[in-house]
Amino acid sequence: MYSAAIYITVLFFACMGITALFSPTSVTNFFGLKTIRADMRNEVRAVYGGFGVAIAGLLTASTFYSEVRQGVVLTVAIALFGMAAGRLLSFAIEHSEGHYPMVFLVVECVLGSLMLYVYSSSTV
């Protein structure tokens, strides 16, 4: 069960990361930006792409190296909840124009909760 929960989260981050690396405008299209300049494509590739692929790789490695699993899983849970907290703060500051920020808030909370479940249930 733990590996399945981890691989669900791996899939999310891998899809986000690979998409951002090879098609950064696909990511910004979710938020209404149809065209972006080179500096913004660089930022999307770094923050969404590089980070997403790195997290997917780290989580995958944690399924093979049990001695790091709890630390990795807890770190990813905190990162996901941090992303969700940033969205909540943004919602408090200004009204969201689209539905994707709410969709991603739910995804981040669900995956963060899944990672906390793995963390609290696994033994190292």
The pLDDT confidence band at residue 30, using thresholds 50, 70 and 90, is confident
- b/e per residue 70-105 (b: at least 16 CB within 10 A): bebbebbbebbbebbeebeeeeeeeeeeeeeeeebb
Predicted pLDDT of residue 124? 45
Q: What is the mean pLDDT of the chain?
A: 94
The whole-model pTM stands at 0.91
Angle ∠(64,5,96) on CA atoms, nearest 5: 125
CA 102 to chain centre: 14
Predicted pLDDT of residue 114? 96
